[in-house]
Amino acid sequence: MTKRAKITIRDANELDLPLLVDFNRRLALESEGKVLDDPTLTAGVRRGLAHPELCRYFIAQLDGRIVGGTMVTFELTDWRDGVLWWLQSVYVEPGARRHGVFRAVYRHIESAARAHRDVRGLRLYVHRLNERAQKTYQAVGMSKAEYEVFEFDWSGSVRQIEKG
């Protein structure tokens, strides 16, 4: 009989900055073929860690080893008179995938969100071609929303990698 892996989720802190930066860098490259500007990314994660009113980071550990991170941001929903929590920067190291890590992260975040009277639901966005992630999100009970995302990015901090 094999030993079941122990998954723990905790709030991130400033000591996790290098790991969160690395996870975000790897996530962008792996899921969207994008290279992030390192100083901008580092400053962004540092800002997030310093401002809990903007976002909250979570760290996933598998048998005591850090294997993933997720950020939650907050959006006022006037239609529901409350707040939606957006899961962002969801990353689990490849070797730790298919071991229930994301499911544990999701359940932890869902439980924390339900403990707040004003939270009305959870959302996330996923790249339209990332079918594996979409199946993972559906497996925890999320469903595809009726919305498309539009953006206008003038930051210049994200560069698309040429394919081919």
pLDDT tens, position by position, for the chain (164 residues)?
A: 456 789 999 999 999 999 999 999 999 999 889 999 999 999 999 999 999 999 999 999 999 999 999 999 999 999 999 999 999 999 999 999 999 999 999 999 999 999 999 999 999 988 888 898 899 999 999 999 988 888 888 887 777 777 66
**Quick count: other Cβ atoms within 10 Å of Cβ 24?**
20
3-state SS class at 19 = helix
DSSP state letter for 84: E
pTM of the model: 0.89
Cβ neighbours for 163, distance < 8 A, ≥ 6 positions apart: 33
Options 3.40.630.30, 3.40.50.920, 3.40.50.2000, 3.90.1150.10; CATH of 7-144: 3.40.630.30
Cβ neighbours for 21, distance < 8 A, ≥ 6 positions apart: 38, 41, 42, 45
3-state SS class at 71 = strand
What is the dihedral angle through the alpha carbons of 123, 129, 135, 140, rounded to the nearest 10 degrees?
A: -10
**Quick count: other Cβ atoms within 10 Å of Cβ 75?**
11
Give the type of residue at 153.
D
